[in-house]
Amino acid sequence: MSDAGVFNESTLEPALRQKTLGLPPPERLPNDNDISPYFIVGDDAFPLRTYLMKPYSHHYLEHDERVFNYRTSRGRRVVENPFGIPAMRFRCLLTHLQTTPENAILITKACVVLHQIM
């Protein structure tokens, strides 16, 4: 299942859609007067929503769109790196786990714990 598919099947998506997650209200960014909401950053596979930002997908982008895509990409890398580093240590995380969802959760938790103590 793709990342977007997992997200759509999760409890996070309806909580964001129904505004029951408890995100803080929109606020001003440092050194800026514009009020910005909190949101999740996704890749091209995700749908565009008010609570989920994704990069522009067309090829010929205006300067502002390229800047937006670059900054969105940097935000995603910050989040993806903590997953990528343990995956390089525990190679089973680099591929589909051929097991039940319950066992996949246990395997992932075990890798996280081992990564923290190693």
Residue spans per domain, the chain: 3-90
Q: Give the C-alpha distances (Å, rounded to integers) separating 56 from 11, 18, 37, 45, 92.
A: 26, 25, 19, 11, 32
pTM value is: 0.66
Tens of pLDDT, residues 33-49: 899 898 888 888 888 88
Residue 20 pLDDT > 90: yes
pLDDT at 80: 81
Tens of pLDDT, residues 77-113: 887 887 788 888 888 888 888 999 899 989 988 988 8
Backbone angles phi, psi at 113, to 5 degrees: -65, -50
